[in-house]
Structure 1
């Protein structure tokens, strides 16, 4: 299998080497967390040749005897090398019973640089403070970006590459299959495993049909405003009696496993968050095809999903904006930076351009405003709004 060095994520790991935190690598299943850890190990060997590297991968049978905290502790302590930099890297740490006790002990000893990966439902960001007594630093790994897709396949024609990326997505495990059907079968199995193995096991969910129903609804309604209460009412009217608290909890579980990302609504004029409805986006747009097929594709919504995940990948906090009852697709914030973004499939018609630009032109502050669409032209300005072709923007 071809391996692409994911330099951005690798650099984040390198930057943390001499911090005292427990480093936790998170992200959706099959997004490349284990491969990233292997790349990091190779980097350590080159940069710190004398380092003592203790790597435990619980996916491998050779570590099957270390499935409890006492055995793990004994194994690691026996490999500790005094007077060296000791790096402890554990893959799928949740497969070790009471792993947190051993990890906390390693951290308290101040003898190890600790890096962990694991099933997302067992290493949630809001659980880390409970699991570990030491400070944790999370590094979130996303599926391949379009830029990585282009590099992986050595694409020469950017627009043709984007057409492929729209259909194939960023889950690199699917790249090993030749036909789209085989790719989508692989993606569907990954998604089902994510739900059944992680969410059901972690939260002991009994109403699996409801979880499946909510999952399919979110997949089919990416970028739509969704309220747990209205969704519960809809399901009840169709014969599935359920309350909004259960719906809200199940959606939270789906987001906790990085299957979906919740994007909150933000009142731009009032500068406050709106609690009524949120929008949800898939970790990778290709899961939509795997679950529901490719008939009647709404490219505008697919592009919106791609842009949302790319903004998150670039480290922005992302919100959907509301101003004078007009919707702005995204408000992207990073420290003192703020960008207002509209995403569209085709803005070649004057009425479409008017519809997309009008909400942006209503915003009176001086922060940059942008329209991202499938223009297939170089970037240009329209009434002070930067207009980008989506493929070019994803590459910049």
Structure 2
């Protein structure tokens, strides 16, 4: 089993009474993380229930909590001793937070649960398990984890983190990074060796997302409409969200379109980048930009340009480091990303000294002195005052 970065946080929380909630898109490795944690429980009074199995859903859907307790005991769980109960795919049983609350309060059971959507978990759990849980969000692999899954020694790779371009470093890792851009970071995609197998698996992820998560969580019957919307978003990735334009193309009203887009965000399919402004009110009033949470899914859904693909990857990579915004003035002057309101980044496939000067001048408008280019390719003129994309993590 490969060690994900989030495992150390999860392991620390394993020994706290609070419910450990692991959420994220399908196939990002939530069930694997759950099994990893179960392997670190220091006793054997452990019960694992997969809610994709109907008998487990029936158990937790009973109206009598006493019957649920008896069912757990029949499955071998002792309620009179320290115990751990792991529940996989918890969104399939809407009543489960209430059951967990009762068992948590009565017996002090340590629960570890997984679910595929923040749309359900963050809102419903906040009401039912206030103060009793901590939510951990899992994402596709970052590039360092990608290399680990590829069997690479990542220690030499770590010295290049956010460092200026170095040809030796770039030359060693660029092939892996190009694969990372093309197919993304779903663990099973990364572990598949053949391009067709990778693409087929990405199609399975997309199909499961629309046919299972979306229909279950939002009761949307128009899966064809949602699929069409995702296609339209793919070719517009990195652009500002124009709700009116999308509504016109899809044939839905503007409010319904906002509901669809919020759902895509809350279920981790896309993530939103809001404008950098001096105040929250102005920030909320301006149109946000959007990016796909995985470049493999982005490639699958539309004919995106090489530049769009690279910018989307960098948006994902920077988002792991903190809050990202974009900056744009009415005159058209813009900066691709501002990280934590402190660092300005411009994304260029091939960087030039002119690009750096333009970024420096624009960053001064925000009184930012820390500004850097992020590039993908080896410049022909020997320019090296930029960060290679694979070093952003």
Q: TM-score range by the shorter chain?
A: 0.7 to 0.9
- 1:89: which partner in 2? 86
CA distance in 1, matches of 2:224, 2:43: 53
Residue 299 of structure 1: CA displacement?
Answer: 2.6
Matching residue of 1:301: 308
Residue 161 of structure 2: aligned partner: none
Structure 1 vs Structure 2 CA RMSD: 3.0
Structure 1 73/221 Cα, relative in aligned 2: closer, same or farther at 3 Å? farther
CA distance in 1 between counterparts of 2:314 and 2:283 reads: 21
Q: Which has the higher strand share?
A: 1
The equivalent of 1:321 in structure 2 is 327
Structure 1 gap segments, 5+ residues each: none
Aligned to 1:166: 181
Matching residue of 1:267: 277
Q: What displacement does 1:184 show?
A: 1.4
Q: Shift of the alpha carbon at 1:241?
A: 3.5
Name the stretch that deviates more: 63-72 or 23-32: 63-72
Q: Could you tell me how far 1:193 is from its partner in structure 2?
A: 1.5
Residues 325 and 338, structure 2, Cα contact 8 Å, conserved in 1: yes
CA 1:166 to 1:365, structure 2 compared with 1: closer, same or farther past 3 Å? closer
Aligned CA distance change for structure 1 residues 18 and 390 (closer, same or farther; 3 Å): same
**Matches of 1:20 and 1:338 in 2, distance apart?**
37
Any conservation in 2 of the 1:155–1:161 contact (CA below 8 Å)?
no
Hey, what does 1:50 align to over in structure 2? 43
Matched ranges for 1:191-340 at <5 A: 191-232=206-247, 234-235=248-249, 240-268=250-278, 272-292=282-302, 297-314=304-321, 316-322=322-328, 325=331, 326-333=333-340, 338-340=342-344
Match of 2:367 among 360, 364, 369: 364
The residue matched to 1:281 in structure 2 has which SS?
A: strand
Equivalent pair of 1:341/1:370 in contact (CA under 8 Å): yes
Cα distance in 1 for partners of 2:143, 2:347 equals 16
Q: Which has the higher contact order (CA 8 A, sep 6+)?
A: 2
Shift of the 74–339 alpha-carbon distance from structure 1 to 2, 3 Å rule, reads: farther
State the Cα distance separating 1:303 from its structure 2 match: 2.1
**Following TM superposition, by how much is the alpha carbon of 1:188 offset from its aligned partner in structure 2, in angstroms?**
1.7
Q: Structure 1 residues 145 and 22, CA, compared in 2 at 3 Å: closer, same or farther?
A: same
CA displacement 1:229-280 (0-9 Å, x = unmatched) = 3322x42xxxx54221011001111112111111111225999414231111
Question: Any conservation in 2 of the 1:121–1:202 contact (CA below 8 Å)?
Answer: no
Gaps of at least 5 residues in structure 2 are: 154-171
Structure 1 position 362, deviation (Å) = 3.2
